[in-house]
C-alpha cells in the first residue's frame, strides 16, 4: 500500500497492526508533535503497509473459520434423530420475523436469518458479545455461545439448542421484542458528519474524525452492519432521518444498567482463541468480547500485567519513524479524535511497555483478522469494558504464538526513490475488488466507499477522562480491510434437530 501522501485505504491494515505506547521513544518532528510527546496518555499503533487487505471472500472464510476450537474443549453432540435443515434465509429478516417467527434450533454452520439474529441480540444483551451483528452465523457468534454455555453449565457445543436458547433468553432479560422501533432524539441524529479524506495529511486538517453519515452513526450505536440496518428498514433513507422519526434497530444491551454488582477481578486474553474475558474473583466469566491480537511485527506479550490507565476519545499521532513498513522520512501528523480515529474510542494502557487494549474504526475485522501486539475490540465493547474495570486490574495473556519480532523492512525501502516506495505495495483499486451485498451481510454503501480508513500510528494526546455518554460509535462495515485469516474448509453443516420456540 502506498504510504507517501497515501490513500487512507492503507490504514485498514491495522488488522495486522503492532501496538506501542510511545513513551517518548519516537522523536517529534514539529512543535505540535513535541508537545504531544510529553502527554503520558498517548499510545502508538504500528501497522504493516504491505499487508494484504481482506477481500469479501476472505471475510467469508474467516466467518466460518473454526481454528479457535483448537484451544477449547467442545462437549459431545447428542441427538440427531430428528435432523432437519434450518429453512430460514437472511433475506427473511424483518422486525416482524425476528419478533414473532419460531426459533429454529440447532443453529450452527453457514446459516442466517431471524433465528440467528435473535441469538446474536440476546448474546449482546447477556454481555457475551458476538461483535458486529449481521444476522449470519459465524465464528464470533459460535464462540460467544460456547463460552456462555460453559459458564452456565450447559453442554458446551457452540451450537444453539433448545436449552441454550431458554437460558440465553433469561440471561438477556427476557425482552418482549428483540428488534424495536426507536424514536430518534436530536442527539441520535446530531452530526457533524464529515467525509474522511483518503490522504492522511488532509485528514489531519479536520476538526474531528467524525462519522461520515447518519447510517454510520446509527449502525455503531446498535452494533450492526449498515447492510443489516437497511434490511430492517426497507425503503427508508437512513441518512435522511430526523429527530422524532422512527427506525427499527436491535434491542442492544443497556449500557447503563448492564453489569451492575459484578466486580471484574482480572482480564484474560487469548491469542489463538481471539477473545477477551473479564472474570470475577472465582474465575467466572462475566463478560466475553471477540478480539484481534498477535502477529509477526509486534507479537503480543505473554504472562501477566495490569491496566495502568484509560484514555477516552484518543487522538492519533501518526509517527512514521516507529511504524512498521513506513519509511522513516515521512512527516508526522496529528489526527483529531473522533469515532473514525485509528485507535477507536478508548485506549487502555498496560504495564508492559508498548502494549494496550483499544477500539477500532474497522469492527467488522474484530475476531476475524490478526493484529500485531495490541488487543483490539469493537468500540462499543471496549467502551463498556472501560467503564467496568479499575486501575491496576490484572491482565493475563494466554495462547500467544510467541513469534519473535520481525525486522521492519521499511528502511531498506526508504533508501530508494519515493516512486519506488510507492510502487512496492500498491493498494488494490476499488473497482478491482468484488462488491458485496446482502449475500455477505455487508453494506452496499460501505462497499462503494471500500476500506478507506488507515489505522496506523495512534497517539491519544488528549484525554477526556470524564465518562462518555451512553451513545456508542457506529460500526464501520468495511468489506475488504485487515489481514488474511487462516481459512478453514467447512463442509455444509447438518441440522440435527428442529424445534420451534416463540420469541416471547
DSSP 10: G
Nearest CA to 422 out of 24, 79, 102, 5 is that of: 5
Are the C-beta atoms of 242 and 249 separated by less than 8 Å? no
Our answer to whether residue 358 is catalytic in this structure is: yes
Describe the crossing of helices 114-125 and 162-171 by its angle, rounded to 10 degrees.
Answer: 40
* Pairing outcome for strands 346-350 and 333-335: unpaired
3-state SS, one letter per residue, for 413-426? HHCCCHHHHHHCCC
Our answer to whether residue 374 is catalytic in this structure is: yes
Q: Distance between CA 102 and CA 106 in Å, rounded? A: 12
DSSP 332: P
Grid cell of 220 as nine digits = 455503531
Q: Distance between CA 74 and CA 156 in Å, rounded? A: 6
DSSP 5: T
Q: Distance between CA 120 and CA 115 in Å, rounded? A: 9
Tell me which of 223, 354, 358, 388 is the catalytic residue: 358
Q: Distance between CA 119 and CA 123 in Å, rounded? A: 6
Which ranges in 172-290 belong to alpha helices (H)?
186-189, 200-203, 214-221, 226-232
> Which residues are 316's β-sheet partners?
335
Tell me which of 104, 317, 374, 501 is the catalytic residue: 374
Grid cell of 352 as nine digits = 508492559
Give the residue carrying C-alpha cell 433448545. Answer: 162
Give the residue carrying C-alpha cell 483499544. Answer: 358
> Which residues are 398's β-sheet partners?
270
* 191 Ramachandran zone, left/alpha/beta (phi>0; psi -120 to 50): beta
Are the C-beta atoms of 228 and 93 separated by less than 8 Å? yes
Q: Output the CA angle 364-466-375, nearest 5 degrees.
A: 30
- Max CA separation in the chain (angstroms): 72
> Which residues are 179's β-sheet partners?
250
Nearest CA to 478 out of 380, 342, 361 is that of: 361
Using DSSP's 3-state secondary structure scheme, residue 105 falls into strand
Grid cell of 421 as nine digits = 516506495
Q: How many CB atoms lie within 10 A of CB 426?
A: 10
Any idea which residues carry the catalytic annotation? 358, 374
Amino acid at each position: 500500500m502506498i504510504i507517501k501522501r497515501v490513500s487512507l485505504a492503507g490504514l485498514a491494515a491495522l488488522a495486522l497492526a503492532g501496538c506501542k505506547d510511545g513513551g517518548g521513544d519516537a522523536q517529534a518532528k514539529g512543535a505540535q508533535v513535541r508537545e504531544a510527546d510529553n502527554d503520558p496518555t498517548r499510545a502508538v499503533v504500528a501497522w504493516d503497509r504491505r499487508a494484504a487487505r481482506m477481500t469479501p471472500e476472505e471475510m467469508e472464510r474467516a466467518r466460518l473459520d473454526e481454528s479457535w476450537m483448537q484451544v477449547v474443549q467442545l462437549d459431545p453432540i447428542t441427538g440427531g434423530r430428528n435432523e432437519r435443515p434450518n429453512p430460514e434465509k437472511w433475506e427473511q429478516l424483518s422486525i416482524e420475523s425476528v419478533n414473532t417467527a419460531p426459533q429454529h434450533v440447532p443453529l450452527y454452520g453457514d446459516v442466517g436469518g431471524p433465528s440467528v439474529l435473535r441469538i446474536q441480540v440476546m448474546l449482546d444483551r447477556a454481555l457475551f458479545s458476538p461483535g458486529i451483528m449481521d444476522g449470519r452465523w459465524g465464528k464470533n457468534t459460535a464462540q460467544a455461545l460456547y463460552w456462555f454455555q460453559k459458564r452456565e453449565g450447559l453442554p458446551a457445543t457452540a451450537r444453539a439448542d433448545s436449552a441454550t436458547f431458554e437460558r440465553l433468553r433469561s440471561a438477556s432479560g427476557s425482552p418482549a421484542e428483540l428488534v424495536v422501533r426507536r424514536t430518534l432524539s436530536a442527539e441520535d441524529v446530531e452530526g457533524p458528519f464529515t467525509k474522511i479524506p483518503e490522504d492522511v495529511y488532509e485528514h489531519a486538517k479536520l476538526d474531528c474524525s467524525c462519522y461520515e453519515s447518519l447510517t454510520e452513526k446509527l449502525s455503531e450505536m446498535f452494533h450492526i452492519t449498515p447492510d443489516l440496518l437497511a434490511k430492517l428498514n426497507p425503503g427508508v433513507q437512513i441518512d435522511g432521518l430526523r429527530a422524532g422519526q422512527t427506525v427499527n434497530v436491535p434491542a442492544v444491551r443497556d449500557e447503563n444498567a448492564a453489569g451492575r454488582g459484578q466486580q471484574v477481578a482480572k482480564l484474560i486474553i487469548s491469542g489463538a482463541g481471539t477473545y477477551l474475558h473479564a472474570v470475577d474473583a472465582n474465575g467466572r466469566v462475566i463478560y466475553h468480547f471477540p478480539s484481534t491480537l498477535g502477529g509477526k511485527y509486534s507479537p503480543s506479550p505473554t504472562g501477566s500485567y495490569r491496566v495502568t490507565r484509560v484514555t477516552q476519545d484518543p487522538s492519533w499521532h501518526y509517527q512514521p519513524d516507529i511504524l512498521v513498513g513506513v519509511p522513516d522520512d515521512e512527516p508526522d501528523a496529528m489526527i483529531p479524535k473522533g469515532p473514525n480515529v485509528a485507535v477507536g474510542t478508548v485506549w487502555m494502557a498496560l504495564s508492559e511497555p508498548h502494549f494496550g487494549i483499544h477500539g477500532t474504526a474497522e469492527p467488522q475485522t474484530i475476531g476475524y483478522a490478526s493484529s500485531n501486539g495490541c488487543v483490539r475490540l469493537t468500540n462499543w465493547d471496549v467502551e463498556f469494558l472501560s467503564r467496568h474495570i479499575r486501575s491496576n486490574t490484572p491482565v493475563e495473556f494466554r495462547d500467544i504464538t510467541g513469534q519473535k519480532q520481525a525486522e521492519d523492512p521499511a528502511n531498506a525501502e526508504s533508501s530508494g526513490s519515493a516512486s519506488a516506495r510507492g510502487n512496492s505495495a500498491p493498494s488494490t483499486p476499488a473497482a478491482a475488488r468484488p462488491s458485496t451485498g446482502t449475500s455477505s451481510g455487508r453494506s452496499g454503501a460501505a462497499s462503494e466507499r471500500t476500506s478507506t480508513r488507515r489505522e496506523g500510528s495512534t497517539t491519544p494526546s488528549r484525554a477526556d477522562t470524564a465518562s462518555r455518554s451512553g451513545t456508542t460509535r457506529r460500526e464501520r462495515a468495511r468489506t475488504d480491510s485487515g489481514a488474511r485469516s487462516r481459512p478453514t474448509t467447512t463442509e455444509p453443516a447438518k441440522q440435527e434437530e428442529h424445534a420451534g420456540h416463540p420469541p416471547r
